[in-house]
Amino acid sequence: MTNFEEACKMSAEKWAASFPDEVEAHKFSQKHIDAINEIIYPKPAVKVKKLSKKTVRFIIIAAVLLALATTAIASPAFRQFTLKDFSNHSEYRVSDIKNAKAVSSLKLNYIPDEFKMVDKYESVNLFLFSYKNGEQIFDVEKLYLRSTIGFDTENSVKEELQINGADATYYRTADNWGTVIFNNGEYIYHISGNISKEELVKIAQNAEWWIRQNAEFPIFLNFLSQNDLFLGLCIMKA
């Protein structure tokens, strides 16, 4: 052994002799222990179950029906009314007027082809829009719930009908003037003119109050079939 090797050996022995007889075990942090455990004992992978088209459709049905039920509760109830027929006219009055509020707007979502607005009147009690197409005319009135409406019904036929769930009355006079009148619990709507019954009813069905309260439903209802809705109703009753 050379002098250099001998010197290295002696240095190594001296360095080893400097170690304590017992070395205290190292304390690892909890974060380190958790990391090691994840490597040694990996957690099983979470399996994401893919929903079938049938399941997705069922969820949509339930959501739509729930929204319909909620809206039905939130919407103002159609108010009871009195309709008195006299010899040459009739009078319409709403019995429960606690939800009466000032009239502030009127928007129609259906106007028959070729008809143009020819007159407009706006106040806190009444909004009146008049439309004309040649000899044909019709008026749409949105009235304060406290109003008493009188209109000509002399020599007329009378028919009870429904406008989107609201009780309505239709008159047609001998000179071909038609009238549809109803309320939605907040306002009275009076649509009249010398156009067909079908057009008067369609205008009433597309009045602003119905579209506003149900704007979120048509897209979903067009997607669902009658069988879907029937199934959903059965589930809700179960």
DSSP letters for 78-144: PPPEEEEE-SSEEEEEES--TT--------BS---TT-EEEEEEE-SSEEEEEEEETTEEEEEEEEE
Residue 211 to residue 45: CA distance in whole angstroms: 48
pLDDT at 42: 64
pLDDT at 222: 44
pLDDT at 29: 76
Query: So what's the architecture of 79-206 in CATH?
Result: 3-Layer(aba) Sandwich (3.40)
Q: How many CB atoms lie within 10 A of CB 45?
A: 6
Under 8 Å between Cβ of 130 and 106 = no
Under 8 Å between Cβ of 138 and 190 = no
* Average confidence (pLDDT) per 10 residues, the chain, 238 residues: 64 64 65 70 58 62 55 51 86 85 92 96 95 97 90 91 91 94 91 96 83 43 50 52
Residue 220 to residue 214: CA distance in whole angstroms: 11
pLDDT at 208: 77
pLDDT at 23: 56
pLDDT at 88: 87
pLDDT at 32: 66
pLDDT at 212: 44
Which residue ranges make up each domain of the chain?
A: 53-73+216-237, 79-206
- Looking up tokens 């009378």, which residue turns up? 158
pLDDT at 135: 96
pLDDT at 51: 61
